[in-house]
């Protein structure tokens, strides 16, 4: 099974935009890791891969809490989570 470790740093937090699904700290981290067309909501992470497929992952509870706090301008700290159990869909992001 493929596992992707997502390490949110203070720099991602400082550069992120509250309420943005494409410029939040998690999206910025994934973009920095080389992924394109990243979309992060409080429910799902979507990433387009080079084959035109969309990788979908349910947002882990720790990331959901982070997103809530960040979007509500509460203090957040760097943290790490893994994407491991994801689905791949043909056709890219919709």
Chain segment 51-66, per-residue pLDDT in tens:
777 888 999 999 999 9
Q: How far apart are CA 29 and CA 9, in angstroms?
A: 8
Given a contact cutoff of 8 angstroms between Cβ atoms, the answer to whether 28 and 16 are in contact is yes
| Separation of alpha carbons 6 and 33, rounded Å | 9
- The H or E element spanning position 62 is helix 61-71
Confidence of residue 91 (pLDDT cuts 50, 70, 90): low
Residue 16 has pLDDT above 80, yes or no: yes
19, 57, 20: which is closest to 35 by C-alpha?
57
Mean pLDDT of 16-31: 97
Mean per-residue pLDDT over the chain, rounded: 89
Q: Where are the domains of the chain?
A: 4-90
User: pLDDT tens digits, residue range 69-84?
Assistant: 999 999 999 999 998 8
CB under 8 Å to 77, separation ≥6 — which residues? 13
Residue 49 confidence (pLDDT)? 73
Global pTM reads 0.88
């Amino acid at each position: 099974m493929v596992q992707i470790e997502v390490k949110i740093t203070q720099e991602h937090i400082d550069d992120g935009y509250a309420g943005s699904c494409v410029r939040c700290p998690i999206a910025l981290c994934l973009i920095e890791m080389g992924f394109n067309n990243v979309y992060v909501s409080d429910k799902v992470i979507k990433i387009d891969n080079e084959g035109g497929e969309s990788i979908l992952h349910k947002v882990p509870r720790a990331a959901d809490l982070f997103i809530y706090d960040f979007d509500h301008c509460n203090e957040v700290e760097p943290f790490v989570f893994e994407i491991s159990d994801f689905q791949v869909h043909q056709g890219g992001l919709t």
